[in-house]
């Protein structure tokens, strides 16, 4: 079978390249007995990959057991996986086979494998390396011939650094890695999945299938889908059951996407709970500085352009004179208090061909964040005549942080 036939056989919807790649790797690795680690976000459909691997392997006539490791309590996980002997713990009234014993000759799928306790990880590593295990409460080693496929939605390398997952087990499981892409990366597949789910629920509840207008389709495709395919399926079912109209508009769809926003831009976060220096507060100050600089440069470019085109005959308009006056004050403290409203000492008319010698002294502007931060604090204090609370609100920081900055930079009010 090729990839398209496999997807049709297992009900996989979509043509995203990353999805096709995952299915193709599963098909190629199936005839071997290599361990496979499937990674991807929760709800992305990772459970389909081990089924494909098992179906195209020589073990397809053996048992296939899927185990959700995160759903089994830590105290019973060893018993569930490896079995136990009668009387090995309270409530063990008889011996019991574990999943590795039941799946002998077949395939076992360990979903959310990163949730396994460290003690169980040691037992699993031994099974992978030697095929041996012991029931809980037994001293007799048993053999099993089982293929292990694992999946997780967490950063395993991060868990290793935190000491929550064994590095040797990770590399033993990760012989063949397969990545299942999140739904937000599969924009061209989202509407296809929606239509498939809509038709399924129409048949299930014996009602006409719902349809989306063009605007609703755009919203559907541009939503982030944190719950991936599982969330899309749930929302499709909700709309199918609740809405009387079978034609869904953008406004109706937004009701089922409470966190949807038309514009997704980085937001500045204010952290007023702590008086300590925070990244969010300092970042906000930096953004203010950059925005002010951008506006100043735009104003300056406009005035220079008019000068070069002969648009000003010696005198500036009141508005532009105010802009130049403000810029001079900010760029050169020596010009403070000296309004610029008349340029009679200079001739900017290009037709007269003035012989102007460039005697301007270029002062390199400091790009230090500390200097800019100190400058913004001084401006805020001047603006509110030393009232720290108002200045702190303007800067987007707490009063406590402002007090600390004033002492740190030795700012006199």
CATH of the domain at 193: 1.10.8.60
140 plus 245 within the same structural domain? no
66 plus 104 within the same structural domain? yes
Distances (CA, A) of 307 to 315, 321, 341, 358: 10, 13, 15, 16
Closest CA to 97 of 113, 115, 85, 110: 85
At what angle are helices 279-308 and 388-395 packed, to 10 degrees? 80
376 plus 327 within the same structural domain? yes
164 plus 224 within the same structural domain? no
Residues 6+ apart with CB under 8 A from 397: 270, 272, 281, 284, 285, 405
What kind and span of H or E run contains 151? strand 147-152
pLDDT at 311: 53
Cβ of 143: how many Cβ atoms within 10 Å? Answer: 11
pLDDT at 49: 96
Q: Which residues pair with 107 in a beta bridge?
A: 64, 147
Task: Indicate whether 76 belongs to any domain.
Answer: yes
Q: How many domains does the chain have?
A: 3
158 plus 202 within the same structural domain? no
Tell me which of 158, 181, 204 is where a domain ends. Answer: 181
| The two three-digit tokens of residue 225, written as one number | 């889908």
| The two three-digit tokens of residue 108, written as one number | 């076992």
90 plus 167 within the same structural domain? yes
Closest CA to 43 of 198, 149, 180, 195: 180
Give dist(CA 38, CA 44) in Å, integer. Answer: 11
Give dist(CA 362, CA 57) in Å, integer. Answer: 74
pLDDT at 74: 87
Task: Indicate whether 309 belongs to any domain.
Answer: yes
The answer to whether 320 and 305 are in contact (CB under 8 A) is no
What range defines the domain where residue 74 resides?
3-181
Residues 6+ apart with CB under 8 A from 265: none
Q: Which residues pair with 179 in a beta bridge?
A: 39
The answer to whether 122 and 9 are in contact (CB under 8 A) is no
315 plus 381 within the same structural domain? yes
* CA 388 to the chain's CA centroid: 37
345 plus 302 within the same structural domain? yes
Task: Indicate whether 123 belongs to any domain.
Answer: yes
Task: Indicate whether 342 belongs to any domain.
Answer: yes
Give dist(CA 322, CA 342) in Å, integer. Answer: 11
Residue 142, burial from CB neighbour count under 10 angstroms (0-12, 13-18, 19+)? middle
Tell me which of 204, 237, 254 is where a domain ends. Answer: 254
The answer to whether 212 and 220 are in contact (CB under 8 A) is yes
Task: Indicate whether 273 belongs to any domain.
Answer: no
The answer to whether 402 and 391 are in contact (CB under 8 A) is yes
CATH of the domain at 96: 3.40.50.300
Write a three-state SS string for 321-337.
Answer: HHHHHHHHHHHCHHHCC
| DSSP line for 356-379 | ----PPP-PPP--HHHHHHHHHHH
168 plus 196 within the same structural domain? no
At what angle are helices 3-10 and 17-29 packed, to 10 degrees? 90
Cβ of 107: how many Cβ atoms within 10 Å? Answer: 25
| DSSP line for 36-77 | EEEE--TTS-TTHHHHHHHHTSTTTTS-EEEEEGGGS-TTTH
220 plus 99 within the same structural domain? no
| Helix, strand and coil percent figures for the chain, each rounded to 5 | 50, 10, 40
10 plus 49 within the same structural domain? yes
Burial letters 213-231, b for 16+ CB under 10 A, else e: eeebbebbbebebebbbeb
pLDDT in tens, the chain (413 residues): 889 999 999 999 999 999 999 999 999 999 999 999 999 999 999 999 999 999 999 999 999 999 999 999 988 999 999 998 888 887 778 888 999 999 999 999 999 999 999 999 999 999 999 999 999 988 899 999 999 999 999 999 999 999 999 999 999 999 999 999 999 999 999 999 999 999 999 999 999 999 999 999 999 999 999 999 999 999 999 999 999 999 999 999 999 997 776 544 444 444 444 444 445 556 667 767 777 777 777 777 766 666 666 555 555 566 666 666 665 555 554 544 444 444 444 444 444 444 445 444 545 556 677 778 888 888 888 888 888 888 888 888 888 888 888 888 788 76
């Amino acid at each position: 079978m090729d990839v398209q036939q496999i997807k049709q056989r297992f009900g996989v919807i979509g043509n995203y390249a990353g999805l096709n790649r995952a299915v193709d790797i599963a098909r190629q690795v199936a005839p071997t007995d290599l361990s496979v680690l499937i990674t991807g976000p929760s709800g992305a459909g990772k459970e389909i990959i081990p089924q494909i691997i098992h179906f195209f392997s020589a073990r397809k006539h053996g048992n296939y057991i899927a185990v959700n490791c995160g759903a089994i309590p830590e105290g019973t996980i060893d018993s569930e996986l490896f079995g136990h002997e009668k009387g090995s713990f309270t409530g063990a009234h008889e011996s019991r086979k574990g999943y590795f014993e039941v799946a002998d000759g077949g395939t076992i799928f360990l979903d959310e494998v990163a949730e396994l306790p460290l003690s169980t990880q040691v037992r699993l590593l031994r099974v992978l390396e030697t095929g041996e295990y012991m029931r809980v409460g037994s001293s007799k080693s048993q053999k099993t011939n089982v293929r292990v496929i694992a999946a997780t939605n967490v950063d395993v390398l991060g868990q290793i650094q935190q000491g929550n997952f064994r590095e040797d087990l990770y590399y033993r499981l990760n012989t063949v890695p397969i990545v299942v892409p999140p739904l937000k990366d599969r924009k061209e597949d989202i509407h296809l999945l929606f239509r498939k789910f809509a038709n399924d629920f129409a048949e299930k509840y014996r009602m006409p299938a719902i349809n989306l207008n063009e605007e609703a389709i755009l919203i559907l495709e541009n939503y982030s889908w944190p719950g991936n395919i599982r969330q899309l399926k749930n929302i499709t079912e909700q709309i199918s059951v609740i809405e009387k109209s079978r034609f869904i508009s953008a406004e109706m769809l937004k009701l089922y996407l409470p966190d949807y926003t038309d514009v997704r831009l980085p937001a500045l976060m204010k952290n007023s709970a702590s008086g300590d220096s925070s990244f969010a507060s300092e970042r906000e100050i930096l953004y203010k500085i950059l925005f002010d600089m951008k506006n100043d440069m735009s104003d300056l470019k406009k005035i220079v352009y008019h000068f070069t085109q002969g648009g000003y005959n010696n005198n500036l308009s009141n508005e532009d004179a105010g802009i130049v006056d403000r810029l001079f004050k900010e760029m050169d403290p020596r010009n403070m208090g000296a309004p610029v409203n008349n340029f009679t000492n200079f001739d900017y008319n290009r037709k007269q061909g003035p012989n102007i010698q460039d005697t301007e002294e270029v002062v390199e502007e400091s790009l230090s964040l500390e200097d800019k931060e100190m400058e913004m604090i001084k401006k805020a204090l001047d603006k509110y005549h030393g009232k720290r609370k108002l200045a702190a609100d303007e800067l987007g920081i707490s009063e406590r942080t402002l007090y600390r900055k004033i002492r740190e930079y030795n700012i006199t009010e």
